[in-house]
Structure 1
Amino acid sequence: MTPLAPPRPRGLGGEGAAILVLGCLIALAAILRFWNIGGQSLWLDELWTAAQSDPGLAFGQWLEEWILGDVHPPLYIYLMRQWQQFFGAGEISLRLPSVLFSLGFIGTAALIPGWTSSPFRRWLLAGWFACTPAAVIYAQEARVYALLLMLSAAAVLLSVAIARRIEAGQPILRPCLALSAVILVAEYSHYFGALVGFGCFAALTGFAVIRDRSRLGTILVSGSMALLLFLPWLIFHAAHITDQLSGSFWITNNWERSLSQAARLAVGLPLLCAVMAAAIMLAFAARPGRLCRADGFVPVVALALMLGGALLISLHTPVITDRNLLILLPPFFLLAVTLIDRLRMVLPGGLRFLAVVVGIAVPVIGLGASAQRLSAEVKDQWREAAAQVTGLPGCGQAILPVYRWPEEFYAYYLPPADRPHLNSVTLEQGAFGLATAWMPLVSIGTCPLLIWAGHVGGDALTGEVAQALGIPRDRIVVARTKGHMLLLDHRDLERASGS
């Protein structure tokens, strides 16, 4: 029977202090997730979540209008729909589930049994999970990525635990069923969850082929369950988003930028992430036998297959973004933490201490990068833009034309009395010239507002609006907030303000 862990060296006096430091870092990172969580307005993607998860919509209407045409599976939005029904649609309320998922992401390192027998390694991985900017930043956004990170970490750690049980000759049925359930939830939450499942079950299959082929049946059946229970939805949904899978997608593949941004989200500094990756590869090159162990083989193969699967999909449909690549973070962190812990156990005194310092320095850097980004980042200012709109003189009962996005997005920050006046417009020309949707804009009384263009920037739109309305470009005034343009007629603005 293969031992689950190498013998521990003597004289680990610094381990307790290191765990105490890691515990403090985890506590600080948990607090940081709540810091100023409602300070900035929801931005475009979060407003999409708010509108998609409106519990006031009948189930059929919700499915038809918001789910079938979206490129994401429905589970996260369904969970948010239930959440909103009980806890409301306020900014903090909508973001709170992401905080909880992000705390669960930390908890996977501590609570999933069997992936390691080293308490230090558990604390070290929990510290890295706690302080990575990816987890801290997406903990404050009403989006699916905190949930995806938690499920990806749970899947990878369960896979390593299963592989260790194979090494030890122990039963694997229950953890395999648990892994199948985690993957199924991940698949219905985000389509990259299917890549996580593919990577984990393929890695376990390969490990069983190497170590114990009698376990192949359990692994293949469990993996097939996760796929077959997801396949009906995949086939059904694909028929509704065919036009978005033809290669013309809103994402533009930019691997260099996406990998750089993903590295920044992982540890705060792309160079540090590159050094860690190089150190991992050198360690396996020096000791290739480590690849035959559970904590080496499973995360390496899973990471490679996830990345390779994303690359293959991107050849047909652009899907590569830094946030989608976050599924690579759990296996990457696991490999790095394993390397640091092994160095700590085999190196002599001074170098052993240096390994511990490096292990703690990474989450310290990540925590600092997280705090800096949260304090400096400015989201789309939908709240501020709405305040400008409602503060314009003479616009109390005027038509409020909005451009490009659903009216529900603009309505979120408007007073209830103003919401019925929203009117979606386009720049399309009708059979008799100007589209009828634009006709009321020509004479809107003393209200200077022509159009509120949420999450849109650039002078091209201003010129198009001026041309469509038949007024000179220099009579258009643009009031900007981040991600927004409030297009105003200069004459009406002067008359309304009395200047």
Structure 2
Amino acid sequence: MRRTAQLWTLLAALVAAAFALRTLVLIDATALWSDELYSVGKSFQPSPLELLGMLRQDTHPPLYYGLLWFWGQLVGQSPVSLRLLSWLAYLGGGAVMVAQAVALSDGRQRVLPLALLLAFCSPYPVRFAIEGKSYALLVLLVALAWWWRRAERSVAYGVVAALAGLTHFYGLFLMLAAAAWDGASRRWHLAGAAVLGAIPALGWIIYSADYLFSSRSGSWIGQPDFALLEESLARALGLWPLPKLLLLVVLIGGLQRWGGMQPLPWRRNRLLDRSALLPSAVMVLAVVLVSFVKPLAFSRYFVVLLPSVLPLLCVLLTASPLHHWGQRVVLGVVLVLLISWWGPGFSELDPTAGGVREQDQFRAISQRTNGQRERYSPRARLFNLSDQMELSMGRITAPELSWGDRDELRERLLRSPLPDELWLASSGPPQKLNRKLKPLQQQAEAAGYVCADRSGGLSHGRLLRCRLGSRGPLL
């Protein structure tokens, strides 16, 4: 029996390694999307002081961007180094969640195979494993916080709570919810540690209050609705999230009724509390309620629930030995999930599967306009950052001029002599990019240019080559 368990653990570890290595292989397969380029603009600054000044006008606290600055000084500032930091955090977060699952199960090794598969292969961790944003680091820090909270190591818990709060404000919300929960349970040492850990992030909120409490902060977030729930489930479960959730509920019920699974002794083990699921649920409820006044609930932010939900789910599904048919049913369900995660789960990360990261194709336009002088876009800053990253990879030559925006195009068209040709471009969702690019095209055409589309092969980008009318449009 022990050899069988070791074999399953080995197989699960190999599958988890395959997912992790596939994400690493795809680290530079798709272009940096807008938020990743903003990470470049924030973190790849000449000095930490300039970084802090820029972050005062940002939605997120500074720890990730500061760490990314030091990381860039150490290994270089490129798209690969940007995403590699997240991949390393993905490995660390997965390892901590696996260890937490084993600890919550009181050391039962049969939890290991499922924990390995969920921690390294499920869509949420895979999606953010190679993204130049703070989410993988946030998962690692929250997982460490729940690890030390379960062990009641208040000093370590408080330190990691502070780091989580300074990485993302959802980390702060989680720690405040945990402080309230532990305070209500009279665990004052844990509540006090979380409160003290929240102080640095609260100080940052005061420092950047002018921006954080303005209408610009979080303006892209809508009020909670059913689409928020569906998108959050899709990020967690992958393709067809609602049928998968129903399948999971039916599976647990069936295993408890016919498969040998024993109900968990919730009260004796304090499992919901020790896993931090209850404090996490308090945070989610508070965020959703507040979001009807000031929208805060965003599907990708709910990745912070992984460190509490994932280990608990592993313990639930492996709490007791199953009958033979129950084991086969679980194996079949896990195989179906893995197949759906290996294929569609990588769709946004793999260009061979049509992957376009968050509907942005800045890299392709940077490469197509390589060597051109007069380039203008409604997203000029992002194209300049894209050029910076493409230059660091040796894929383009150093531009003679930076991208200009709509105002700079207007000023250029008022100066003589006019250039023989202009390049206009944008990237993003097709309707949105066409709407924002149209005013620039109208400016060029009013000045006597004839614009020809050069967007062939771009699904989420538009590129126009505009020549003076006297020369006629390019064929």
- Measured against the shorter chain, the TM-score band is 0.7 to 0.9
CA contact (8 A) 2:177 2:279 kept: yes
Larger CA Rg, structure 1 vs 2: 1
User: Which residue number in structure 1 is paired with residue 435 of structure 2?
Assistant: 460
Please list the CA deviations of residues 107-136 of structure 1 after superposition, one character each: whole Å capped at 9, or x if unmatched. Answer: 103445843311222442232110012212
What is the percentage of aligned positions where both structures have the same residue? 20
Distance in 2 (CA, whole Å) between partners of 1:457 and 1:468 is 20
* 2:227 is the counterpart of 1:257: yes
> Which secondary structure state, in structure 2, belongs to the residue aligned with residue 445 of structure 1?
coil
User: Which residue number in structure 2 is paired with residue 244 of structure 1?
Assistant: 215
The amino acid that maps onto 1:139 is: A
Counterpart mapping for 1:286-435 below 5 A: 290-291=266-267, 293-298=269-274, 299-342=276-319, 344-345=320-321, 347-355=322-330, 358=333, 362-363=337-338, 365-375=340-350, 376=353, 377-379=355-357, 380-390=360-370, 395=372, 398-406=373-381, 408-412=384-388, 413=390, 415=396, 417-426=398-407
User: Which residue number in structure 1 is paired with residue 462 of structure 2?
Assistant: 485
> Which secondary structure state, in structure 1, belongs to the residue aligned with residue 68 of structure 2?
helix
User: Which residue number in structure 1 is paired with residue 72 of structure 2?
Assistant: 84
User: Which residue number in structure 2 is paired with residue 445 of structure 1?
Assistant: 419
Deviation of the 1:456 alpha carbon: 6.7
The amino acid that maps onto 1:90 is: S
Deviation of the 1:492 alpha carbon: 5.2
CA contact (8 A) 1:291 1:297 kept: no
* 2:129 is the counterpart of 1:139: yes
CA contact (8 A) 1:26 1:126 kept: yes
CA contact (8 A) 1:108 1:153 kept: yes
Please list the CA deviations of residues 204-254 of structure 1 after superposition, one character each: whole Å capped at 9, or x if unmatched. Answer: 445xx3xxx5xx2212221221122332112212233321377x7122235
CA contact (8 A) 1:403 1:426 kept: no
CA contact (8 A) 1:199 1:302 kept: yes
User: Which residue number in structure 2 is paired with residue 224 of structure 1?
Assistant: 195
CA contact (8 A) 1:23 1:123 kept: yes
The amino acid that maps onto 1:477 is: A
CA contact (8 A) 1:203 1:297 kept: no
Counterpart mapping for 1:96-111 below 5 A: 96-111=84-99
Distance in 2 (CA, whole Å) between partners of 1:108 and 1:119 is 15
CA contact (8 A) 2:450 2:466 kept: yes
The amino acid that maps onto 2:232 is: A
Distance in 1 (CA, whole Å) between partners of 2:402 and 2:118 is 49
Distance in 2 (CA, whole Å) between partners of 1:496 and 1:443 is 19
**TM-score (structure 2 length as normaliser):** 0.82
**TM-score (structure 1 length as normaliser):** 0.79
Deviation of the 1:82 alpha carbon: 0.8
- Counting matched residue pairs gives 449
* 2:115 is the counterpart of 1:125: yes
User: Which residue number in structure 1 is paired with residue 259 of structure 2?
Assistant: none
User: Which residue number in structure 2 is paired with residue 5 of structure 1?
Assistant: none
User: Which residue number in structure 2 is paired with residue 149 of structure 1?
Assistant: 139
CA contact (8 A) 1:98 1:143 kept: yes
Distance in 1 (CA, whole Å) between partners of 2:310 and 2:454 is 45
Distance in 2 (CA, whole Å) between partners of 1:473 and 1:296 is 69
Distance in 2 (CA, whole Å) between partners of 1:189 and 1:493 is 55
| Aligned-pair Cα RMSD in Å | 3.4
Distance in 1 (CA, whole Å) between partners of 2:443 and 2:339 is 54
Bigger mean CA deviation after superposition, 141-150 or 175-184: 175-184
Please list the CA deviations of residues 3-47 of structure 1 after superposition, one character each: whole Å capped at 9, or x if unmatched. Answer: xxxxxxxx6774333222211212212211212321222221111
Bigger mean CA deviation after superposition, 219-228 or 417-426: 417-426
> Which secondary structure state, in structure 2, belongs to the residue aligned with residue 423 of structure 1?
coil
CA contact (8 A) 1:108 1:154 kept: yes
Distance in 2 (CA, whole Å) between partners of 1:194 and 1:278 is 35
Deviation of the 1:357 alpha carbon: 5.1
